Amino acid sequence: MIRVILIVILSISVLSCNRFNPDDYKLIIQNVQLFNGDSLYQSATILVQDSAIKKIILRPTSLSGSNVIDGTGKTLLPGLINAHVHAQAVEHLKEAAETGVLTLLDLFTTDPKRADSLRNLGFHRADLAYYYSAGPTVTVPGAHGSQFGPVPLVDSVEEVPQFVEDRVNEGSDYIKLIIESGPDSEWPTLTDEMIRLAIKQSHELNKLAVAHISKRKDALKAVEYDIDGLVHIWSRDTTYITQQQIDLLKNRNAFIVPTLLVTDSVKARWEESLDIDVLMHDVLAIHEAGIPILAGTDPPNFGLNYGTSLFDEMELLVNAGLSELEVLKSATSNVAKSFQLDHGYIKEGVSADMVLIDGNPIADIKHIRKVYKVFKFGDEIIPVNKP
């Protein structure tokens, strides 16, 4: 008797799924390979109502209408996230959005008011990427970051707690520290006590703390002091990371944004001595240890852009040994989890921010460049140079 009841309930459920009216939805993408940020599904149908994903059906469908897109042979991804940029204008948010990069994490700005304006625009305009900002960085006079002034700087240990609180009051979404001693030990940088206090104050104010580094020893110091993430990888080291160092990074639950593309650009232009092979080895080693890898590119440095340069970074991560699926996570759910964001997923109830690829980037990451359509709030973003 119970079995009969279950069959009846299942039948009613299936019938109810077939009875919905496609005209009730703003957008339907059917029979598409779906990467939802975490998992892969071979034939899915996504129904968008108003600006959100109303329903996901994980089976083939046969719907018709002007609002229906056939996803056969295509792959649907969440809007991509660039975890390291320096955006300064609306045009940067637009450039990103048109390529499917629908969220930008700014890691330094000299103007908190401009950042607040970009943040507001990004959350309200369908043609712009979402925008988050660290505001001015925690750094000392004469150190890296101070050359972009005028910016507030830390002169003493006693100033650190108030400095961090000021950044939070200005609207910073997270706090960034500069731990950069340069090629020798004479360059000024934050003292150990300043680092500890900045991280502690950030956490007390419920903000993540991330650190710019270029040496492994600085990275290890930062994680010992409870940093949440490293927004570069060590580019100055010529030896492979040790198991002990990997264990320290893993035990402290720090994430890493390697920015391999920037290091590759530095090597090409200025410093041929940089060992990219060491970095590629270390990226794979820390990934295999379960340490989250996040994709970020650091534009506009070295002429990198806010859109397709992220595809270059993703290809480098595949070249380092990560699978295509894991690299897609590095530009979606890994960032969302690490920075505690609401973006980077395709699931019922979230904003319909999606990228439709005319190909299969799970099989070949180069297909990520075959952007067919981009949607934010369920509205298609039409590039200015595309009819």
- Integer distance in angstroms from the first to the last C-alpha of the chain? 60
| Burial per residue of 290-314, b for 16 or more beta-carbon CB atoms within 10 angstroms, e otherwise | ebbbbbbbbbeebebbbbbbbbbbb
Q: Do residues 240 and 279 lie in contact, with contact meaning Cβ atoms separated by under 8 Å?
A: no
The pTM is what?
0.92
**Residue 303 scores a pLDDT above 70:** yes
pLDDT reading at 8 higher than 50: no
Mean pLDDT for the stretch of residues 75-96: 98
pLDDT of residue 186: 61
3-class DSSP assignment, residue 270? coil
| pLDDT (tens digit per residue) in 347-358 | 999 999 999 999
The whole-chain average pLDDT of the chain stands at 91
Average pLDDT over residues 69-87: 98
Q: Which helix (H) or strand (E) holds 70?
A: strand 68-70
- The answer to whether residue 16 scores a pLDDT higher than 90 is no
Give the pair of three-digit tokens for residue 4. 């009969």
- The pLDDT-based confidence of 274 (bands split at 50, 70, 90) is confident
Task: For residue 112, say if its preceding peptide bond is cis, omega within 30 degrees of 0.
Answer: no
Give me the mean pLDDT over the 210-230 stretch: 95
Coil, helix or strand at residue 48: strand
Residue 387 has pLDDT above 50, yes or no: no
pLDDT value at position 143? 84
User: Is 80 exceeded by the pLDDT of residue 328?
Assistant: yes
pLDDT of 147 reads 80
Task: State how far the Cα of 276 lies from the Cα of 151, in Å rounded to an integer.
Answer: 33
Q: Residue 33 in contact with residue 21, Cβ under 8 Å?
A: no
DSSP string for residues in 338-383:
HHT-S-S---TTSB--EEEESS-TTT-GGGGG-EEEEEETTEEP--
Q: What is the pLDDT of residue 177?
A: 98
CA neighbor of 258 nearest in space, from 336, 331, 177: 331
The 3-state DSSP class for residue 298 equals coil
Q: Is the pLDDT of residue 2 over 70?
A: no
- Length of the chain, please? 387
Kind and range of the H or E run holding 177: strand 175-178
Quote the CA–CA distance of 265 and 87 in Å, as a whole number: 19
Residue 296 pLDDT more than 60?
yes
Query: How does residue 182 score in pLDDT terms, banded at 50, 70 and 90?
Result: low
Phi/psi of residue 129, nearest 5 degrees: -75, 150
Better-predicted residue by pLDDT, 150 or 186: 150
Position 263 scores a pLDDT of 86
Alpha carbons within 13 angstroms on the beta-carbon side of residue 307 total: 18
What integer pLDDT is reported at residue 12 of this predicted model?
37
Instruction: State pLDDT tens for residues 169-180.
Output: 999 999 999 998
The dihedral formed by the CA atoms of 63, 69, 73 and 79, expressed in degrees to the nearest 10: -130
Tokens 């040496």: give the residue: 215
Residue 7's pLDDT band (cuts 50, 70, 90): very low
Residue with tokens 């083939």: 60
**Is residue 237 a contact partner of residue 216, using CB atoms and an 8 Å limit?**
yes
What letter does residue 31 receive in the DSSP assignment? E
CA distance 233 to 256: 7
Q: How far is CA 354 from the centre of its chain?
A: 14
Do strands 75-78 and 27-35 pair parallel, antiparallel, or not at all (unpaired)? parallel
Please tell me the predicted confidence (pLDDT) of residue 192: 95
